[in-house]
Amino acid sequence: MIRTLLDIYILILIVDAVLSFFPQVRHHQVVLGIKQAANFTCRPVRRLLPPDLPFDFSPLIVILGIKLIEVLW
């Protein structure tokens, strides 16, 4: 059950990363909800990363962290 929830959250992170390339849907209610759910874990990671990176690596770091927790669990 918990692994399924973690996999769903990983899917939300991936969908958020893909939707960030489509600015025309940025203000849609569903996209805003996905963004809010993804920012729950990505925002603290973004604060730790240098601001001059060419790409937002925070979803990748969060996904790797979740997968590490799954492996160790």
- Per residue, the 3-state secondary structure of 9-68, as one string, reads HHHHHHHHHHHCCCHHHCCCHHHHHHHHHHHHHHHHHHHHCCCCCCCCCHHHHHHHHHHH
Q: Which of the four pLDDT bands, split at 50, 70 and 90, describes residue 73?
A: confident
Q: What spatial distance separates the first Cα and last Cα of the chain, rounded to whole Å?
A: 13
Task: Place 67 in a pLDDT band, splitting at 50, 70 and 90.
Answer: very high
Domain map (residue ranges) of the chain: 2-72
Reply yes or no on whether the pLDDT at 42 is more than 90.
Answer: yes
Residue 26 clears pLDDT 90, i.e. is over it = no
- Output the average pLDDT for the chain: 92
pLDDT greater than 90 at residue 37: yes
pLDDT > 70: what percent of the chain? 100
